[in-house]
Amino acid sequence: MADDVLALDVSPSTRALLISAGFRSKSDFLNLAPMDLAAEAHIPLSEASAIVASLRPRALAAPQPLLGAQSALQMLEREETRRHVVTFCRTLDDVLGGGVALGEVTEVCGVPGVGKTQLAMQLGASVQVPARLGGVDGDAVYIDTEGSFMAERFEEMCEGVRRHFARMRGRLGPEAAADADALTTEGMLQRLHYFRAYSHVELVAAVTALPGFIAKCARPVRLVVLDSVAFPFRHDFGGDFAQRSRVLTGLAASLQRVADECEVAIVVVNQVTTKGGRPSGGEIAAAAAAAAGDSGNANSAARVIPALGETWAHCSTSRLTLAWDDSLGESVAPERCATLAKSPRLPTRTAWYSVVADGIRGVKSTSAAVMVGDKRSRDDVAAPAEQ
């Protein structure tokens, strides 16, 4: 025992240093990091590392501080193969980098009536597009806190998706055409799972139980919509904002985990509130100005900002702001636009979209000067994989 140190495969001078530093048996080296050993015995760090490595039991042979780490190259591959849920509006997909990304939490906010729920329902339909048609072929989970989900409207959008691929059938390969034929409105309705949560407690319960539900689903769930996170959180807490932000942060963490581990796209709808000017006085719909970069009336009108405050603002990976764009003048009916306000990898850009009977589509317009990106007709959207 005492001469363990003599058995070490080190140079005599190092051995002498070790002995003079008081090292005798193997146990002396236990739980000693190479750095500490080097300092204590006054030996070079490289030798200390070698000693520690040679004394370590086999199982611990390779200390793994980098366990689970990925190189940026691997991450790049992952990002490049990242799948997206298309919105059926080409310009909006471009702004989002191909659609709403799987594995991320995307927040959608905007004034009442601008189309947040419409976009959420559209995603619920387009997530089901088969892989050969350029989709992700997944089920959708819809957690509704507002009661605004309309199954009849969703049916209409499913029908819109089905019609879209029926129209393109001639341009598809035989397999893709078979997939297009297999799409039925009824089948799509069956693949949306609807949860109605009346309070933040039910919402938290639904999110906590989500991994279990996803695991039990026969087909993979690829989209979770939470419409909206703001409604229960804006009045259930009686002014206890500390508690509110604790619960919100916990909810956000659960959502991020579900998104990543189950490879689903999570879309969180948020409301907006007014800031500055007269506090929450009487403003209903306004301020596409902020999105369109129009600062003309910025000092007079109260600013419209996403609800739930700064804590929540950190919780989503990307944030899409929907607004009315009336910058084209009084005579033109205002159009709806979507701005990517926050993203870890994409620039801030704006897309114009419209809500039609079939769902969310692009707009046909010639005023290209104010557009970002190119605009195509709505028949063009969601190109199949082979195009």
Partner 1 sequence: MAHHPALPPPSGDRALKRIAATWTPRVSMSDDAHVEQPHLARIVDRLAIRGVTMASDVLCRSWLDIAHLADVDRTTAKLLQTEVAQAICPRPQCALDIVKGKRITIPTQIPTLDDSLRGGIHVGHVTELVGPAGAGKTQFCLSLAATAAAPATHNGLETGVLYVDTERRFSASRVLEIARTRLNVTDHQDATSLADRIAVVRTENIEDLRSRVAWLQTSLGVVEGGVRLVVIDSVAAMARCSSKNDAGIPDTETLGVLAASLKRLADVFGVAVVVTNQVASRATSSARVGACDDEDIVAALGIQWAHGVNVRVAMDFQGALAEQRACTAATGLELHRGRQRWLEVAKCPHAHCARVAYRVTERGVEEIV
Site for partner 1 in 95-124 (CB under 8 A): 111-113, 117-118, 121, 124
Cis peptide before 228 (omega within 30 of 0): yes
How many residues contact partner 1, by CB under 8 A? 86
| Helical (H) or strand (E) element with 322 | strand 318-325
Which residues between 47 and 106 bind partner 1 (CB under 8 A)? none
Q: Whole-number minimum distance, CB 207 to partner 1, in Å? A: 8
Does position 300 bind partner 1 by CB under 8 A?
yes
Q: Is 228 in the site for partner 1 (CB under 8 A)?
A: yes
Return all residues near 239 (Cβ < 8 A) that are at least 6 apart.
Answer: none
Name the minimum Å distance from CB 163 to partner 1: 17
The interface region with partner 1, picked from 29-37, 78-86, 233-241, 362-370 by CB under 8 A, is 233-241
CA 268, CA 106: separation in Å to the nearest integer?
Answer: 6
Binder to partner 1 among 162, 200, 342, 361 (CB under 8 A)?
A: 200
Q: Which residue has the tokens 């509110």?
A: 244
CA distances from 183 to 137, 177, 188, 219, 304 (A): 11, 10, 7, 15, 40
Q: 74 by DSSP, 3-state: which?
A: helix
Closest CB to partner 1 among residues 141, 168: 141
Residue range at the interface with partner 1 (CB under 8 A); choices 5-13, 51-59, 95-103, 183-191: 183-191
- Please give the structure tokens belonging to residue 301: 């009108």
Sketch the per residue contact string, 132 through 171, with partner 1: x for CB under 8 A, - otherwise.
Answer: ---------xx---xxxxxxxxxx----------------
Please state the closest distance from residue 338 (CB atom) to partner 1, in A: 17
> Judged by CB under 8 A, does residue 326 bind partner 1?
yes
Pick the stretch among 13-21, 71-79, 218-226, 286-294 that binds partner 1 (CB under 8 A). Answer: 286-294
List residues bridging with 268 in a β-sheet. Answer: 107, 226
Return the amino acid letter for 47.
E
Per-residue CA distances from 370 to 278, 295, 332, 376 (Å): 31, 15, 14, 15
Contact between 285 and partner 1 by CB under 8 A: the answer reads yes
The phi-psi region of residue 210 (left if phi > 0; otherwise alpha if psi is between -120 and 50; otherwise beta) is: alpha
* Residue 281 engages partner 1 in binding (rule: CB under 8 A): yes
Candidates 4, 40, 137, 236: give the one binding partner 1 (CB under 8 A).
Answer: 236
- Tell how far CA 320 is from the center of its chain: 11
Instruction: Find the binder of partner 1 among 48, 302, 323, 351 (CB under 8 A).
Output: 302
Pick from 330, 344, 347, 366 the residue near partner 1 by CB under 8 A: 330
